[in-house]
Amino acid sequence: MSETEESEGPIIRLKDVTIGYDPEDPLVDIPEMEVFPGEIVAIAGPSGIGKTTLLRTIAGLVSPISGSIEVCGGAPSSPPKRGELGYVPQKLGLVRHASVLHNVMIGANAGNKAPWALLPSSLARSKALEAISSMGLVDKIGEPVRRLSGGQQRRVATARALAQSPKLIMADEFLSELDEETMQMVLGSVIDYVRSSGSALLVVEHDISRAKSMADRLLVIDDGRINPFITEITAVEVKV
């Protein structure tokens, strides 16, 4: 596939996918779902319905029960290919005893497409510093993550994802625990990255009005199915 064809195709494509942990008791059916370069798509739905499981399945961390999934034109891989996927998990997955810089450097190194041996570490470091700065964490750079607040830790995980320069960011409730001003800064930085790089953002957001205000499309998981008719945020009224 040429670079042009690749950039025009969807970054995520799901067809007839069923997700869950037990084939006898599946969580969500997704007849069809596509996310294109430059798009911001939000997923909402009740607690425990399967939103995190959907992200984990797209990331290749959980196998689908059935159906086909493509991420950047190929099957999801675990661990994801370099520079492909920046994941901000709901449970963050940070190295808690290590510093903010160390955690974000993990992302910066993972995002470098060249073999590590050829990499100037100054490049990874400058990407990490830029991401940390965009999350407003410069004054915490040497602090062990375990000493940070919940919202600050969430920003470290977001910086780690941005530092990879990924084609796709998947963020699970990444704006939780943030005050309005910090939330706008974090969201603004991520949206700027997505729009300017032509990558995509798939975000789980329980706050429906926030989901609507940030996303181009909102997918609502209800009764175990992503409702294909509730995809245009301008066209639906969603109960809150």
Residues forming the site for ligand ATP (CB under 6 A)? 21, 27, 47-53, 90, 206
* Contact pick of 7, 52, 182, 197 for Mg ion (by CB under 5 A): 52
The three-point CA angle 87-92-96 to 5° equals 130
Structure tokens at 217: 């499309």
Smallest distance from the beta carbon of 48 to ligand ATP, in angstroms? 4
Residue 172 CB, nearest distance to Mg ion (Å)? 6
DSSP 155: H
Instruction: Determine, following the binding rule CB under 5 A, whether residue 176 of this chain makes contact with Mg ion.
Output: no
- Say how far apart CA 157 and CA 240 lie, in whole Å: 28
Task: Give the separation between CA 10 and CA 35, rounded to whole angstroms.
Answer: 5
**Residue 21 binds which one of Mg ion, ligand ATP, none, with CB within 5 to 8 A depending on kind?**
ligand ATP
**Two tokens at 214?**
């940030």
For residue 90, the minimal CB distance to ligand ATP (Å) is 6
Residue 14's DSSP bridge partners are 33, 69
For ligand ATP, which is the closer residue by CB, 47 or 234?
47
**Of residues 48 and 142, the one with the C-beta less far from Mg ion:** 48
Report the residue number, 27 or 218, with the smaller CB distance to ligand ATP.
27
Label each residue of 165-206 as H, E or C: CCCEEEEECCCCCCCHHHHHHHHHHHHHHHHHHCCEEEEECC
Indicate the residue among 39 and 173 with the shorter CB distance to ligand ATP: 173
Residue 65 contacts residue 19 (beta carbons within 8 Å): yes
Contact partner, 49, from ligand ATP, Mg ion, none, Cβ < 5-8 Å per class: ligand ATP
- What residue 50 binds from ligand ATP, Mg ion, none (CB within 5 to 8 A, per partner kind)? ligand ATP
Rank residues 130 and 177 by Cβ distance to ligand ATP and give the closer one: 177
Residue 46: strand, helix, or coil: coil
The encoded tokens of residue 6 equal 């690749």
Q: How far is CA 180 from the centre of its chain?
A: 21
Q: Tell the smallest beta-carbon distance from residue 49 to ligand ATP (Å).
A: 4
* Minimum distance, C-beta of residue 229 to ligand ATP, in the bound complex (Å): 20
Binding residues for Mg ion, per CB under 5 A?
A: 51-52, 90
